[in-house]
Structure 1
Amino acid sequence: MQTAQVTPKVWDRILAARAGRSCLCCGDWETGERAAMTLYGSMIAAPGSPHVVAQIGQSLDGRVATVSGDAADVSGPDGLAHLHRMRALVDAVIVGVKTALQDDPRLTVRLVAGQNPARVVIDPSGRLPNDARLFADDGARRVVIQTVEKSRPAGVEVITLPRSQWISPAAIVAALRKLGLNHLLVEGGAITIARFIEADLLSRLHVAVAPLLIGAGPQGLTTQPIAKLAQARRPETQVYGLGSDVVFDCLMGTRAQAQVWPHAKQATALRHG
């Protein structure tokens, strides 16, 4: 595990690289600072290119809240700062309507320097009230994706898409690209993230684990069940210590799975040989 030290100097360089004003390859950096630039540098995509990442903040036993829905302190302070850094490095943050209703999130950048991304909510049936905090007119773009006709507050961009059982994640990504939103962070909830994974649209998945045991409650991620472990996704993963939390940076996608699978088989053979 690498320890990532996100000093003000490092974060300034990362933001400059995100804006196209600098690079991450030069400079005299400590080992922990270089680890931080590797972690967040992977979030920076070429202008105009699609790049979809997701983030989960969970407990040691894989929970994101208690059975009563209390999720306020699952992530530690460094895990929360990590989430806000991810927001600062993307064009838009996406949440599903269930998360928006339960948490009423602001989806802004408050704990670190950086600009607020566009806020996108997937609300097929128009359940989210117009006074939700993510619709607040604070200068950031606000987008709602729905399948029904429902008026929204002034300035909120409405995307109407068809659905069968749910709205296609690929259709969502394509519609947001038409709005110039190419670099996307899928922040929740578990079902929404799972659908993007199953659609093979994620390039990276960050799982931030905090040292607490909740015991019961909603899980951070649940994808379609498999019959054999040979069918499991085995993403190439780097692990970073961020003070109060540990972040697993997972390279996703079919190509990444194909690259790492031979190594996984070799490791299994060594363990059982």
Structure 2
Amino acid sequence: MGLHSLYAPISQARGSFVLGQLGQSLDGRIATPTGHSRTIGGPEAIAHLHQLRALADAVVVGVGTVTTDDPQLTTRHVHGPSPVRVIIDPNGRLPHDACVLHDDGIPCIAVQGHPMARPPRIEGLTLPSSNGRIDVHALVKALTERGLKRILIEGGAHTVSAFLAAGALNRLHICVSPVIIGSGQTGICLPQIARMEQAMRPPCMTHRLGDDVLFDFDLDETLSPTGAEAQ
């Protein structure tokens, strides 16, 4: 089936479609203890991420990813439009000099728990929150109502985990690189379970991306309408 099966679910989606993605090391780390993570994935994995951005209407990241990695969230490595940038920032931590705020014509939305000051040229979106965490289902609904139906949840790990725990993802891509970091931040983190029978075992396909291996999980059967929050 090749890469067509990898991109078809999001490219052919008619209604709301939410895809989460993480890149991690062989030992499940997404960054060193200092937060450095830019060279975990190889060039093919980076191109894959940019292709997902090109297929998405909106790319969502937590403000922690912005302050640590300062990503551009563009499609500069592939052909295709850059998506609307959505920053989950319930407490107003978004730096005014962040790369995502560059005036390049791409809209940027700051998702807040209550109305507050924000950098110039940034649209504010106030949504229900609890303990500094945004309701992820409310966020998906709000973006869909704006015509942003194909949504990429790019990071960081806490944000992707919140959407996964809430049953708010249709698909999850985890790209594993043949590198051992040995310390630092781990990837997916969900509520504790007592027995392996409680572990998630969704249908999965694998794809080679250069030296990296991509796990493509179909989560449609785990979708839930219940509320959950993202930091």
Decide whether the 8 Å contact of 1:77 with 1:244 is kept in 2.
no
Letter of the structure 2 residue corresponding to residue 52 of structure 1: V
- Greater relative contact order (Cα 8 A, min sep 6): structure 1 or 2? 2
- Displacement of 1:153 in angstroms is 3.9
- Residue of structure 2 equivalent to 1:126: 92
2:62 is matched with which residue: 71, 93, 96? Answer: 96
Cα shift at 1:215 = 0.6
Give the one of 155, 161, 176 matched to 1:209: 176
Q: 2:74 aligns with which of 92, 95, 108?
A: 108
Letter in 2 for 1:162: P
Per-residue deviation, 1:220: 1.4
Q: Which runs of 5+ in 1 are unaligned?
A: 1-33, 257-273
TM-score with structure 2 setting the length: 0.92
C-alpha separation between the residues in 2 aligned to 1:69 and 1:121? Answer: 19
User: 5+ residue gaps in structure 2?
Assistant: 224-231
- Whole-Å Cα distance in 1 between the matches of residues 181 and 48 of structure 2? 21
What TM-score comes out, normalization by structure 1 length?
Answer: 0.78
Which of 1 and 2 has greater Rg? 1
Partner AA of 1:195 in structure 2: A
Picking from 153, 164, 171, the partner of 2:138 is: 171
Measure how far apart 1:136 and its partner are: 1.5
* Paired AA for residue 127 in structure 2: L
CA distance in 2, matches of 1:248, 1:242: 10
Q: 2:150 aligns with which of 183, 190, 193?
A: 183
Q: State the aligned residue count.
A: 222
Query: Is the 8 Å Cα contact of residues 36 and 69 (structure 2) preserved in structure 1?
Result: no
How many Å apart are 1:38 and its aligned residue? 1.2
Choose from 33, 38, 45 the match for 1:72.
38
Query: 1:219 and 1:146 mapped to 2: Cα distance?
Result: 26
More strand as a share of residues: 2
- Contact 1:125 1:147 (C-alpha < 8 Å) held by counterparts: yes
- 1:154 is displaced (CA, Å) by 4.2
How far the C-alpha of 1:255 sits from its partner, in A, is 5.0
Give the fraction of aligned pairs with identical amino acids, expressed as a percent. Answer: 45
How far did 1:65 drift?
A: 0.9
Deviations 1:200-219 (A, max 9, x none): 11010000111111011101
**1:219 aligns to 2:181 (yes or no):** no
Distance 2:178 2:203 in 1: 23
SS of residue matched to 1:42: helix
Which residue is equivalent to 1:265? Answer: none
Higher mean alpha-carbon deviation, 129-138 vs 152-161, is at: 152-161
Cα distance in 2 for residues equivalent to 1:226 and 1:136: 43
Confirm or deny that 1:63 pairs with 2:52: no
Q: Could you say what secondary structure the match of 2:29 adopts? A: coil
Instruction: State the Cα RMSD in Å.
Output: 1.4
Aligned to 1:234: 201
The yes-or-no answer on 1:243 pairing with 2:215 is: no
- Residue-by-residue CA offset, 1:188-230 (whole Å, 9 max, x unaligned): 1111111101111101000011111101110111111101111
Residues 1:155 and 1:61: Cα distance change in structure 2 (over 3 Å): same
Give the distance between the partners of 2:128 and 2:164, measured in 1 at CA: 20
Relative to total residues, which structure has the larger helix share, 1 or 2?
A: 1
The Cα of 1:147 is off from its aligned counterpart by: 1.7
Kindly indicate whether residue 27 of structure 2 is the aligned counterpart of residue 54 of structure 1.
no
Give the Å deviation of 1:254: 3.4
